[in-house]
C-alpha cells in the first residue's frame, strides 16, 4: 500500500498523467478487486439500474460487487474463447448477470480477433497492438454500439464499463454520438499497448469532456478512469466542488 502511494505521488509530480486529473469531487467507491475493479459513484445506482460490462476476461469481481450492493442488472460481453469457457464453467453466477458471447467493435459482423502473445493470458483484441500476436487470430462475433443497444432495447444505461484491450479508442466515437443516455462511463485505458498511446488517451478524454463527462475517479495505476455525465449531478455537486 505504501509503495503504491509513493508510486502514484511520483507519477503525479512528474505530470505524466496531468490529462487524467480529477475534474469533479463526488462520492466514489471502489468496486471489485485490485485487478478488475473501478471507482463508481454509488448514489446513482439502484435495483432498476442497467450496467453494461464490456470485457469480462476471467474476472467478474466488479460485476458481482455491483449486484451485491445494488441488486441491479449486469449485461456482460466478451467474445474471447477463454472468457466464454470460464463463464460457462462458472457454477454460481447470479440471475442478475447476463452474458453475451460477442464483443463491441466499430462495425458488426465476424471480425478477425487477435489472441494474446502470452498464451497464459486471456484477453485478445480486434485491434493490432503490442500485447497480441497478429499471426494467431480467430474470427469472433462483434457488434457495433448501435446494434448492441438496439438488440437489447436500452435507451438509458446507468453504467458503461469498458476493459476491451485497446479497442476503447476505436469505439468511443460511436458511443458518444449515440442517443442512448449513459450516466457513468468507466474505462481502462490501454495506452501502454501503443506507441502513440498517451496521445490516444488525451484525445479520448477530450472527447468525453466535450460530451459533458467529468473525471471523478482514477485508480492508483492511472489506467482505470471513471467519468460521470455532468447533467445528472444534483445541486450539492455544483461548480464549487470542481477543482
Q: What is the pLDDT along the chain (243 residues), one digit of tens a residue?
A: 454 555 555 555 566 788 899 999 999 999 999 989 999 999 999 999 999 999 999 999 999 999 999 999 999 999 999 999 999 998 789 999 999 999 999 999 999 999 999 888 898 899 999 889 899 999 999 999 999 999 999 999 999 999 999 999 999 999 999 999 999 999 999 999 999 999 999 999 999 999 999 999 999 999 999 999 999 986 455 544 444
CA angle at 39 for the pair 43 and 41, rounded to the nearest 5°? 10
Q: Whole-model pTM?
A: 0.90
Per-residue confidence (pLDDT) for residue 240, from 0 to 100: 45
Find where cell 484491450 sits.
165
pLDDT at 243: 46
All cell numbers assigned to 114: 487477435
Where are the domains positioned within the chain?
26-108+144-232
Q: Which helix (H) or strand (E) holds 226?
A: strand 224-229
Q: CATH top-level class for 26-108+144-232?
A: alpha beta
- Model pLDDT, residue 5: 52
What's the grid cell of residue 152?
437489447
Cell, residue 59 = 474476472
| Residue 134: other Cβ atoms inside 10 A | 11
- Output DSSP code: residue 32: S
Give yes or no for a contact between 77 and 51, defined as CB atoms under 8 angstroms apart. Answer: no
Asked if residue 227 lies in contact with residue 209, where contact means CB atoms within 8 angstroms, the answer is no
Structure confidence at residue 40 (pLDDT):
98
Write the CB contacts of 88 (distance below 8 Å, at least 6 apart in sequence).
Answer: none
Please report the pLDDT score of residue 121 as a whole number: 87
Residues 6 or more apart whose Cβ sits within 8 Å of residue 109: 141, 142
Using only C-alpha atoms, the chain has a radius of gyration, in whole angstroms, of: 17
The pLDDT score that the predictor gives to residue 76 is 98
Amino acid at each position: 500500500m505504501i509503495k503504491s502511494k509513493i508510486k502514484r505521488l511520483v507519477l503525479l509530480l512528474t505530470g505524466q498523467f496531468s490529462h487524467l486529473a480529477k475534474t469533479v469531487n463526488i462520492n466514489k467507491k471502489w468496486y471489485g478487486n485490485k485487478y478488475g475493479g473501478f471507482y463508481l459513484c454509488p448514489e446513482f445506482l439502484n435495483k432498476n439500474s442497467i450496467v453494461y460490462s464490456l470485457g469480462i476476461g476471467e474476472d467478474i469481481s466488479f460485476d458481482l460487487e455491483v449486484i451485491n450492493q445494488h441488486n441491479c442488472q449486469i449485461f456482460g460481453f466478451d467474445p474471447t474463447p477463454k472468457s466464454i469457457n470460464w463463464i460457462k464453467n462458472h457454477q454460481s453466477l447470479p440471475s442478475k448477470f447476463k452474458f453475451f458471447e460477442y464483443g463491441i467493435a466499430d462495425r458488426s459482423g465476424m471480425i478477425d480477433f487477435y489472441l494474446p502473445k502470452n498464451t497464459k493470458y486471456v484477453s485478445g483484441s480486434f485491434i493490432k497492438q503490442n500485447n497480441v500476436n497478429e499471426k494467431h487470430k480467430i474470427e469472433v462475433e462483434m457488434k457495433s454500439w448501435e446494434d448492441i443497444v438496439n438488440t437489447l432495447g436500452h435507451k438509458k444505461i446507468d453504467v458503461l464499463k469498458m476493459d476491451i484491450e485497446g479497442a476503447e479508442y476505436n469505439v468511443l466515437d460511436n458511443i458518444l454520438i449515440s442517443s442512448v443516455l449513459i450516466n457513468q462511463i468507466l474505462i481502462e485505458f490501454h495506452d501502454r499497448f501503443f506507441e502513440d498511446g498517451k496521445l490516444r488517451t488525451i484525445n479520448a478524454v477530450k472527447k468525453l469532456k466535450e460530451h459533458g463527462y467529468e473525471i471523478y475517479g482514477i485508480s492508483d495505476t492511472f489506467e482505470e478512469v471513471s467519468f460521470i455525465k455532468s447533467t445528472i449531478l444534483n445541486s450539492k455537486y455544483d461548480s464549487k466542488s470542481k477543482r
